[in-house]
Amino acid sequence: MSDCIFCKIVAGDLPCDRVYEDEHVIAFNDMHPQAPHHILVIPKTHVAGVNDFSDEQQLLLGAIVLAAKKIAAQLSVAEDGYRLVMNCNGHGGQTVFHTHMHFLAGRQMLWPPG
Ligand code: AMP
Ligand code: ZN
């Protein structure tokens, strides 16, 4: 999608601080980190949000979570723990409409979130 900033990152037209990449996803540091490790895991294909995933994209959704698991191991935070968040639409607080999973680690997370 030509006016999507995350599609531009996937295409290499916008820079990012990449921490992980495979066939299905790319992951990079969030520009406004909310934790010592704050990474966005995004599918390489444009899907606006969780509401837009089809049943046929089950593997792609799984790839996002599996990438997070690999990043946790890469950063040696798997044992301590981490938080995965996917914001959807207005009440979810989504601001970028290319699906992304927030990977947050390196500090104690609080519950409930704000
Ligand atoms: P959300 O509010 O869930 O849509 O999250 C969007 C996230 O994308 C925010 O945490 C932003 O800081 C982050 N973000 C937006 N543009 C960029 C970018 N070019 N590089 C890295 N992170 C970005
Ligand atoms: Zn996009």
* Bigger pLDDT: 113 vs 95: 95
Q: Does the pLDDT at position 53 exceed 90?
A: yes
Q: What superfamily would CATH give domain 5-105?
A: HIT-like (3.30.428.10)
- Residue 95 is predicted with a pLDDT of 98
- Give the chain's mean pLDDT: 97
- Residue 22 is predicted with a pLDDT of 98
Pick from 9, 13, 39, 40 the residue to mutate for probing ligand 1's pocket: most ligand atoms within 8 Å of its CB. 40
Q: Does the pLDDT at position 23 exceed 90?
A: yes
Cβ of 95 closer than 6 Å to ligand 1, yes or no, is: yes
Cβ of 51 closer than 6 Å to ligand 1, yes or no, is: no
Q: Which ligand 1 atom is the nearest neighbour of the CA of 92?
A: 3
- Residue 2 is predicted with a pLDDT of 84
CB 86 within 8 A of CB 68: no
Average of per-residue pLDDT across 55-65: 97
What is the secondary structure of the chain as a DSSP string? Answer: -TT-HHHHHHHTSS---EEEE-SSEEEEE-SS-SSSEEEEEEESS---SGGG--GGGHHHHHHHHHHHHHHHHHTT-TTT-EEEE---HHHHT--SSS--EEEEESS---SS--
Cβ of 50 closer than 6 Å to ligand 1, yes or no, is: no
CA-to-CA distance for 81 and 61, rounded, in angstroms? 21
Closest ligand to residue 13's CA:
1
Distance (angstroms) between ligand 1 centre and the Cα of 76 equals 24
Q: Which residues contact 86 (CB under 8 A, 6 or more apart)?
A: 50, 92, 99, 100, 101, 102
Residues annotated as catalytic are 100
Which pTM was predicted?
Answer: 0.98
